[in-house]
């Protein structure tokens, strides 16, 4: 059974979103004059062990805008709206809701490349030169719906996942408003090879020094990269690939050998400590002449 298509010119929408990347589209819809009777966002949660539960960035923004917020997806059916708009909501929407409320989604990739949970991170890890946003219909299969509107952008060689996500969030907000104003008509089925953007796990972010410096730089730019030194975890927040050769994992001042080229460490974080300049860490760590990362 096919899901209902959104009306050509919706004027009121239920907004589904949670992280900071979903805030620009919410604000853009409000600024453009669309009615938003309800925002659905993920539950409040603790950001650290001792912190009190805090709202998602979308919930916080919605409350400041005077919009009602719920954590229950089924509440979308209790208000009058032409359709739902989904931007990085964070979980699958109940089939019952999908069959009763037409939906569109803002996805941060050029579909069908990178369907799934982590399209920005996977694009960086694979060294993609371009990405973009798609305004798409929703189908039962994840991120497989037809595309109403899309926009492409270059991936800059030094961009981080955070920076790229912010760029796509603004681009997606603009394209969403344009799509709704011009009309949701004649969606185009996705064509081409499908790739799946699986969720990023900690193991994906471990620096394997047998890989090239260029590949490891991508891991660092995704965020959360780590290695070990004398069995202690060392996070790598900023680095840069440079030319040269050395044994993979061998540390010479701030340069680490890789399978191809060297990786210059710029900002690191030893286990249990704050971030610091890599040179300052090396000067204080007293690692010795045969220091090796990944041990």
Q: Which domains are delineated in the chain?
A: 12-197 (3.40.50.170), 202-285 (3.10.25.10)
- Determine the Cα–Cα distance for residues 165 and 167; give it in Å rounded to an integer: 5
Phi/psi at 99 (5° precision)? -80, -15
Give residue 146's pLDDT: 97
Considering the chain, what is the average pLDDT of its residues? 95
CB contact at 8 A, 33 and 9? no
pLDDT of 236 > 70? The answer is yes
1 or 275: which leads in pLDDT: 275
CA 201 to chain centre: 13
pLDDT of 1 > 70? The answer is no
% the chain with pLDDT above 70: 99
Instruction: Spell out the residues 6+ positions from residue 106 whose beta carbon is closer than 8 angstroms to its own.
Output: 25, 85, 86, 87, 88, 133, 134, 135, 172, 173, 175, 176
Burial per residue of 42-66, b for 16 or more beta-carbon CB atoms within 10 angstroms, e otherwise = beeeeeeeeeeeebbbbbbbbeeee
Instruction: Spell out the residues 6+ positions from residue 49 whose beta carbon is closer than 8 angstroms to its own.
Output: none
Q: How confident is the model at residue 48 (pLDDT cuts 50, 70, 90)?
A: low
CB contact at 8 A, 77 and 103? no
Euclidean distance between the first and the last CA atom of the chain, given in angstroms as a whole number: 54
């Amino acid at each position: 059974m096919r899901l209902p298509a959104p009306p050509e010119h919706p004027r009121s929408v239920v907004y589904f979103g949670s992280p900071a990347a979903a805030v620009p589209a919410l604000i853009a819809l409000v600024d453009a004059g669309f009615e938003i009777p309800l925002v659905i966002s993920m539950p409040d949660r603790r950001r650290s062990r001792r912190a009190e539960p805090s709202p998602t960035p979308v919930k916080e923004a919605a409350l400041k805008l005077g919009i009602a917020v719920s954590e229950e997806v089924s509440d979308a059916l209790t208000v009058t709206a032409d359709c739902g708009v989904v931007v990085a909501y964070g979980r699958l929407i109940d089939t019952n809701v999908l069959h009763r409320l037409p939906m569109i989604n803002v996805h941060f990739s050029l579909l069908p490349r990178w369907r799934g949970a982590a399209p920005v991170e996977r694009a960086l890890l694979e060294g993609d030169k371009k990405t973009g946003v798609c305004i798409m219909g929703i189908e039962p299969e994840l991120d497989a719906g037809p595309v109403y509107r899309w926009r492409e952008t270059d991936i800059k060689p030094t961009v981080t996942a955070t920076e790229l996500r912010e760029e796509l969030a603004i681009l997606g907000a603009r394209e969403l408003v344009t799509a709704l104003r011009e009309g949701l008509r004649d969606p185009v089925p996705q064509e081409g090879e499908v790739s799946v953007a699986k969720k990023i796990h900690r193991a994906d972010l471990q620096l394997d020094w047998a890989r090239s410096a260029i590949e490891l730089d991508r891991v660092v730019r995704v965020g959360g990269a780590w290695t070990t030194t004398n069995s202690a975890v060392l996070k790598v927040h900023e680095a840069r690939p440079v030319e040269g050769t050395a044994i993979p994992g061998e540390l010479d001042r701030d340069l680490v050998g890789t399978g191809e080229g060297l990786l210059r460490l710029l900002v690191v974080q030893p286990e249990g400590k704050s971030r610091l300049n890599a040179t300052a860490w090396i000067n204080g760590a007293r690692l010795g002449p045969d220091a090796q990362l990944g041990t």
